[in-house]
Amino acid sequence: MADSLSESEEAAAAQPTMRRWAPLLGTVQDRLEQVPEFRRVGPDGTLTGVKRLVGTIRGTHLPEGVENREVPAERNALVGDLGPGDTEHQVFWVAQQHFPTRRVIALNAAAVEALGGTGVVHVRATRLQSVRMEDLRP
Answer yes or no: are the C-beta atoms of 52 and 77 closer than 8 Å.
yes
pTM above 0.85, yes or no: no
Specify the number of domains making up the chain.
1
Please give the pLDDT value at position 85. Answer: 83
Question: Domain containing 39: what range?
Answer: 27-136
- Check residue 102 and report its DSSP letter: E
Give the highest mean pLDDT range of 14-18, 47-51, 132-136: 47-51
- Label residue 50 left, alpha or beta by phi (over 0 means left) and psi (-120 to 50 means alpha): beta
Q: What are phi and psi of 108, to 5 degrees?
A: -140, 175
pLDDT above 90 as % of the chain: 12
Is 19 inside a domain boundary? no
Residue 11 placed within a domain: no
pLDDT of residue 61: 61
Q: For residue 93, is it within any domain?
A: yes
Query: Looking at the domain assignment, is residue 2 inside a domain?
Result: no
Residues in contact with 116: Cβ distance below 8 Å, sequence separation at least 6, in sequence order: 62, 63, 66, 69
**pLDDT at res. 22:** 65
End-to-end Cα distance, the chain: 15
Q: In this structure, is residue 35 part of a structural domain?
A: yes
5 within domain boundaries: no
pLDDT digits (tens, 9 = 90+) for 53-109: 999 887 666 666 667 788 999 988 999 898 888 776 555 555 566 778 899 999 888
